[in-house]
């Protein structure tokens, strides 16, 4: 099993490299240019990595992007394996977790609730 610190480093590396691959190297028209990699969660035994993405666009754009990324897993894995050497390379799984708009809305909701809390405390 890989150590916790090692898993964190692998997750960070995958996040940065997959972001770069999506932005500059994957030439699939079904992958939206408005795709953001939000988080990577690799299992302790390196059997799989869940890559959490968000896609700004219609539901159809989101669905196409996730399907295209999952279809491109082999290519992505091959590109990643050139940059990082692991005895066992995790299986990649892409998951959609909302949209940019949802994320922005959540941030505003949190800020509003914090603002309301601070006003109530000062009263």
pLDDT tens per residue across span 79-123: 999 999 898 999 999 999 865 566 666 667 777 778 776 666 555
Distance (Å, whole) CA 74 – CA 71: 8
- Going by the DSSP 8-state scheme, the letter that residue 84 receives in this structure is S
Q: What's the pTM?
A: 0.76
Domains contained in the chain, number: 1
Radius of gyration of the chain (CA): 18
What are the C-alpha distances in Å from 50 to residues 39, 59, 95, 96, 109?
8, 21, 7, 10, 27
In the beta sheet, which residues pair with residue 42?
49
Give residue 3's pLDDT. 82
How does pLDDT run across 60-74, given as a tens digit for each residue?
999 999 999 999 999
Could you give the percent of the chain with pLDDT greater than 70?
85
**pLDDT above 50 for 48:** yes
- Provide the pLDDT for residue 39: 93
CATH of the domain at 20: 3.30.300.20
Domain around 29: 4-122
């Amino acid at each position: 099993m890989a150590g916790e610190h090692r898993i964190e480093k692998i997750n960070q590396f995958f996040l940065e490299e997959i972001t770069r691959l999506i932005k500059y190297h994957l030439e699939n028209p079904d992958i939206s240019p408005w795709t953001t990699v939000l988080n990577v969660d690799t299992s302790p035994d390196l059997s799989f990595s869940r890559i959490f993405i968000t896609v700004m666009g219609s539901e159809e754009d989101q669905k196409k992007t996730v399907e295209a990324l999952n279809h491109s897993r082999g290519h992505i894995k091959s590109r990643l394996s050139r940059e990082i050497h692991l005895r066992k390379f995790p299986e990649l799984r892409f998951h959609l977790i909302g949209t940019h708009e949802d994320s922005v809305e959540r941030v505003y909701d949190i800020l509003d609730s914090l603002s309301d809390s601070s006003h109530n405390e000062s009263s």
